Structure 1
Amino acid sequence: MSDVSARIYASGHDLLKVIDELFMFTGIIQSVGQIQRLEPRGGDVRLLIGTGKLPLDGVMPGDSIAVNGVCLTAVELTGQGFAADVSRETLDLTTLGALAPGSRVNLEKALTLATPLGGHLVSGHVDGVGTLLERHEDARSWRLRIQAPDELARYIAHKGSICVDGVSLTVNRVDGAAFELNIVPHTIQETIIGDYRSGARLNLEVDLIARYLERLLLGEQAANPRTPGMTLEFLAEHGFAK
């Protein structure tokens, strides 16, 4: 067993602990809500969000709800929805900064011990914003081609998982930093994906397990800010590629 392999094996318990503490959602959208009002507050914004058919039974102030894949804290329950404060950084680094009254949003409450894991484990921390390049109808389904930021390309794999605006999806094809998805009719109908048009900007969260595996494989090199991340040369050096 190589040093890198041993490190992964020995770190398995720590990785599972990180997963247990960090992942909060599954990427299965529970309702499409609507932005009711935006209140500027000293550079930040408070969003008032109508939750549609999403029941808020058991939700308390301080609980987490994913809005288009962004983990937000419910600071107030309004009867027909909830209010959440969004920082300037989140507004700048996600698509939440483009929301307006009437905008439709994907909603998912945080995991509980009774929540079925129907999608994949999702943190609610957006890694970057992608752009919808193409949308084609394929029988009753849609095929989407999305351009991701270049720095995310190494985490996107054929048949791997990716979260798009909070929706857990499977990657059908990868071409550099572009990737393709197949969207079934149910997902088109039950999420805001049905609203997508070419040029739409989309929140992306890559599979976080891939990120942690990269850190584990890099070992002490991960502490060096100049380390370029996982490369083919690194994998070959440690017996994972030829």
Structure 2
Amino acid sequence: MFTGIIEDMGVVTNLKKDLNNLHISIKSNITSELKIDQSIAHNGVCLTIVDIEKDVYTVIAIQETLEKSNLGTLKISDKVNLERAMKLGDRLDGHIVQGHVDQTAICTKVEETNGSWLFTFQYDSTLNNITIEKGSVTVNGTSLTVVNSKKDSFSVAIIPYTYNHTNFSTFKEGTIINLEFDVLGKYVAKLIELKK
């Protein structure tokens, strides 16, 4: 379980294909505090640490993860949003995030708005995921509030702190990002579907 509050930005140092899996090595400021078997969200994708060497750790993304997320598009030196699992009893500063990406989306617009930024994303609405105005959504693991909710797109407003402490600063038109829709909204949508 995560909160969508990014702790650090890691940098990809190595990528190694192994059959259908991808071994991803990441250098981060929190590596010294990590341990093997620990779960960490990478751009919102929960992955298990399998190796640690000095300030670099390695995780493995399997085929299903690569198909549903942007991790398969990573390159050496790319920045990755990182969050460790929440501790029981901590404040929930973001919202309930599972670390299970629902689908990817494409950044269609980046607009500087006099001290903040407005990012717009388009996604495949045939997968039955939805956003609602002022609801929660997770973009690359970052807990955000939806604005301009439409059937297949939405926007988020980003303050300077978030822009500078996540990989939002690397987004441009065409950037592929990971989406995790609000878990409560997914349950409501499923219940409505079952009643039909």
Equivalent residue for 1:65, pick from 9, 23, 40: 40
Higher deviation after alignment, 206-215 or 180-189: 206-215
Deviation at 1:209, TM superposition (A): 1.1
Rounded to whole Å, the distance in 2 between the matches of 1:93 and 1:138 is 31
Rounded to whole Å, the distance in 2 between the matches of 1:142 and 1:38 is 31
Deviations 1:186-218 (A, max 9, x none): 100000001111111110000011112233445
Unaligned runs of 5+ in 1: 1-23, 223-233, 235-242
Higher deviation after alignment, 207-216 or 173-182: 207-216
Relative to the length of structure 2, the TM-score reads: 0.93
Rounded to whole Å, the distance in 1 between the matches of 2:178 and 2:3 is 15
Tell me if 1:199 matches 2:194.
no
- CA distance change for structure 1 residues 194 and 212 in 2, over 3 Å: closer, same or farther? same
Equivalent residue for 2:12, pick from 18, 28, 35: 35
Percentage of matched positions with identical amino acids: 33
The higher-RCO structure (CA 8 Å, 6+ apart) is: 2
Rounded to whole Å, the distance in 2 between the matches of 1:146 and 1:136 is 12
Q: Secondary structure at the residue paired with 1:211?
A: helix
The size of the alignment, in residue pairs, is 196
Contact 2:13–2:76, Cα closer than 8 Å, also in 1: yes
Tell me if 1:135 matches 2:110.
yes
Contact 1:131–1:148, Cα closer than 8 Å, also in 2: yes
* Displacement over 6 Å in runs of 4+: none
Q: Secondary structure at the residue paired with 1:205?
A: strand
Contact 1:26–1:120, Cα closer than 8 Å, also in 2: yes
Other-structure match for 2:138: 163
Letter in 2 for 1:54: I
Q: Secondary structure at the residue paired with 1:92?
A: helix
Contact 1:153–1:176, Cα closer than 8 Å, also in 2: no
Tell me if 1:54 matches 2:26.
no
Letter in 1 for 2:3: T
Unaligned runs of 5+ in 2: none
Equivalent residue for 2:2, pick from 14, 18, 25: 25
Please show how residues 211-222 of structure 1 align to structure 2 within 5 Å: 211-218=186-193, 221=194
Letter in 2 for 1:169: L
Contact 2:8–2:30, Cα closer than 8 Å, also in 1: yes
Higher helix share: 1
Other-structure match for 1:44: 21
Letter in 2 for 1:212: Y
Letter in 2 for 1:195: T
- CA distance change for structure 1 residues 206 and 89 in 2, over 3 Å: closer, same or farther? same
Relative to the length of structure 1, the TM-score reads: 0.76
Contact 2:137–2:143, Cα closer than 8 Å, also in 1: yes
Rounded to whole Å, the distance in 1 between the matches of 2:63 and 2:130 is 27
Contact 2:130–2:151, Cα closer than 8 Å, also in 1: no
Letter in 2 for 1:27: G
Letter in 1 for 2:132: A
